Amino acid sequence: MTKAPVFAVVGHPNKGKSSVVATLSQNDAIAIALEPGTTRARQNYPLSVDGRTLYTLVDTPGFQRPRRVLQWLEAHSIAASDHPETVRAFVLQHRGDDRYVDECELLAPVVEGAGIIYVVDGSVPYSSEHEAEMTILRWTGRPSLALINSIGPDDFSDTWQAALGQFFQVVRKFDAVRAPFEQHLSLLRAFGQLEPDWETALEEATRFLSDQRQQRRHQSAGLIARALEDLMSHQEQRTLTLNQVAETSDATLAETLRDRWYRHQRRREQSLRIDIEHLYQHQRIRRQEAELQWHSQHDLFAEDTRKHWAVSKRYLATAGFGAGAVGGAGIDAVTFGSSLGAGALVGGLIGAAGSYFYGDRFTLPALNIGPLKDGLKTASFGPVQDSQFGYVVLGRAVDHWWHISHRNHAGRELLELEPADHHWLEQLDKTSRRELQRAFDRCRRQRPLSHQGREKFTAAIERAMTAYDDWRLNRA
């Protein structure tokens, strides 16, 4: 097996070198700072899949004294044919020399065989002060690629392109923070073209990464399916002695169980978020998201939450919603208006009809107190009977997944999850709609999904994720 390629990411301080390393090595632990000089020693960041290193990125300090270095090189070179040797001699002779610590650190991996990724900021004008460092890099004779990464809003990439083209074999625009995954792959392929020794390894790397991306999508669907099963079937229970029954009012009991139920649902949703983030190797995302909310007095989902994530009546009709329970009466016959009063009443109606409610608000479970048995009574709260709950949780989960799967590891901005203004599931095919609704129905009856049932549920969620991805793409 050939050795995995190594790329040294070099350039001026504070131009996005560490950001490029973070993105290409899928590692969000890399120091990216506002202050120049964050990186003093070079640092290796391998990208591994299944314990195998596909390639390694080397983060380096920026050039500090390129003109001095070039002077030295010119003074010690006789002909162009000795340029790579002269650079090597420079590094050997100046190790430990305080003046050239940064240059030695960044040139060492290159003279040891790394390829060069030179990073510049295309939002500031090109200036000839870069020519010394570009010349040094050219002298190394290593395969080289320049990236124009724009940090600010202005665009001077044309002049950059013209200048860089004279020093580097390939010049690409590459936004370290926003470049889509396909561009990461395309960079790797470009490097494979530059260095025949790396072509096979990098072809393989792009294949591994594409497969991994598919797998992660599938695994995410599985994680979302599990969370939905938990959330939709969750029940809080409490067993009371006769004394306790006498001392505790139904209202208090309902409140306690309901609070515990809310808390469980919120925690479970949070753990799903973290699982998805870790799956994509995002370990330190700061996230802001409205919690699942209810109007606690009425056991109603907060209207905002519902408005943004619930599905429409038309959607439900095509999902096989209410079949059987509603029968010939038609779906609209069981639609209550928002004029309908307190949650308790609504809850009662739902319990009685064994059906759903999808008016302008939607309901959460009612308290259930079982019969006396051996001097004990069992009170329970849940599972939720309203399948809109499932659609809300699903919508929020898919939206979060989408942001994570498209986020580069250089991203440091707060992840703000805001509700969509669109019934995104309307893109989904009918079969998937039915699979989702069927799974929700089983869960709310606390009937665990069979292995096959879960596979179908997961597949439907995965198609919903794809539909959402397409919808986002078309909107962009």
Ligand X SMILES: Nc1nc2c(ncn2[C@@H]2O[C@H](COP(=O)(O)OP(=O)(O)O)[C@@H](O)[C@H]2O)c(=O)[nH]1
Give the binding site for ligand X (CB under 6 A). 13-19, 32-34, 36, 38-39, 62, 149, 151, 175-177, 412
Residues 6+ apart with CB under 8 A from 328: none
- Considering beta carbons, is residue 17 or 306 the nearer one to ligand X? 17
- Considering beta carbons, is residue 16 or 122 the nearer one to Mg ion? 16
**Distance, CA of 341 to CA of 343 (rounded, Å):** 7
User: For Mg ion, which stretch binds (CB under 5 A), given 11-19, 164-172, 250-258, 270-278?
Assistant: 11-19
The SS3 assignment for 48 reads strand
Binding partner selected for residue 151 from Mg ion, ligand X, none, CB under the kind-specific 5 to 8 Å limit: ligand X
**Distance, CA of 187 to CA of 184 (rounded, Å):** 5
Cβ–Cβ < 8 Å for 270, 278: no
Binding partner selected for residue 130 from Mg ion, ligand X, none, CB under the kind-specific 5 to 8 Å limit: none
Binding partner selected for residue 23 from Mg ion, ligand X, none, CB under the kind-specific 5 to 8 Å limit: none
Write down the least CB distance from residue 288 to ligand X, Å.
19
- Considering beta carbons, is residue 121 or 269 the nearer one to Mg ion? 121
The SS3 assignment for 171 reads strand
Please state the φ and ψ torsions of residue 55, each to the nearest 5 degrees.
Answer: -165, 165
Q: Which 311-340 residues touch Mg ion, going by CB under 5 A?
A: none
Write down the least CB distance from residue 23 to ligand X, Å.
9
Write down the least CB distance from residue 69 to Mg ion, Å.
19
Binding partner selected for residue 352 from Mg ion, ligand X, none, CB under the kind-specific 5 to 8 Å limit: none
User: For Mg ion, which stretch binds (CB under 5 A), given 34-42, 316-324, 361-369, 423-431?
Assistant: 34-42
Write down the least CB distance from residue 123 to ligand X, Å.
9
Write down the least CB distance from residue 13 to ligand X, Å.
5
**Binding status of residue 23 toward Mg ion by CB under 5 A:** no
- Considering beta carbons, is residue 18 or 385 the nearer one to Mg ion? 18
Peptide bond into 5 cis (omega under 30): no
Binding partner selected for residue 149 from ligand X, Mg ion, none, CB under the kind-specific 5 to 8 Å limit: ligand X
Which amino acid is located at 179 in the chain? Answer: A
Write down the least CB distance from residue 407 to ligand X, Å.
13
**Binding status of residue 18 toward Mg ion by CB under 5 A:** yes
- Considering beta carbons, is residue 38 or 193 the nearer one to ligand X? 38
- Considering beta carbons, is residue 153 or 327 the nearer one to ligand X? 153
Which amino acid is located at 372 in the chain? Answer: L
**Binding status of residue 39 toward Mg ion by CB under 5 A:** yes
Binding partner selected for residue 34 from Mg ion, ligand X, none, CB under the kind-specific 5 to 8 Å limit: ligand X
In this structure, how many other beta carbons lie within 10 angstroms of the beta carbon of residue 348? 12
- Considering beta carbons, is residue 18 or 23 the nearer one to Mg ion? 18
Write down the least CB distance from residue 25 to ligand X, Å.
13
**Distance, CA of 295 to CA of 301 (rounded, Å):** 6
| DSSP-assigned beta bridge partners for residue 45 | 57
The b/e string for 254-270 (b: 16+ C-beta within 10 A; e otherwise) is bebbbebbbebbeebbe
Binding partner selected for residue 13 from ligand X, Mg ion, none, CB under the kind-specific 5 to 8 Å limit: ligand X
Helix, strand, coil percentages (3-state) for the chain, rounded to 5, are: 55, 15, 35
For the chain, the straight-line distance linking the first and the last C-alpha, in angstroms and rounded, comes to 42
User: For Mg ion, which stretch binds (CB under 5 A), given 13-21, 290-298, 361-369, 453-461?
Assistant: 13-21
Binding partner selected for residue 136 from Mg ion, ligand X, none, CB under the kind-specific 5 to 8 Å limit: none
Binding partner selected for residue 33 from ligand X, Mg ion, none, CB under the kind-specific 5 to 8 Å limit: ligand X
- Considering beta carbons, is residue 20 or 464 the nearer one to ligand X? 20
The SS3 assignment for 110 reads helix
H/E run at residue 432: helix 430-444
Write down the least CB distance from residue 105 to Mg ion, Å.
12
- Please name the residue that has the structure tokens 């006396």: 372
Q: How many residues are given for the chain?
A: 476
* CA atoms within 13 Å, Cβ hemisphere of 229: 19
H/E run at residue 140: helix 131-140
The SS3 assignment for 82 reads helix
**Distance, CA of 379 to CA of 151 (rounded, Å):** 59
Write down the least CB distance from residue 65 to ligand X, Å.
17
Could you tell me how many residues of this chain bind Mg ion (CB under 5 A)? 4
Please state the φ and ψ torsions of residue 117, each to the nearest 5 degrees.
Answer: -115, 110
- Considering beta carbons, is residue 5 or 122 the nearer one to ligand X? 122
Write down the least CB distance from residue 70 to ligand X, Å.
21
Write down the least CB distance from residue 109 to Mg ion, Å.
15
- Considering beta carbons, is residue 39 or 233 the nearer one to Mg ion? 39
DSSP 280-315: TT-----EEEPPP-EETTTTEE-HHHHHHHPPPHHH
Binding partner selected for residue 19 from ligand X, Mg ion, none, CB under the kind-specific 5 to 8 Å limit: ligand X
Closest alpha carbon to 277 in 226, 216, 218 = 216
**What are the residues binding Mg ion (CB under 5 A)?**
17-18, 38-39
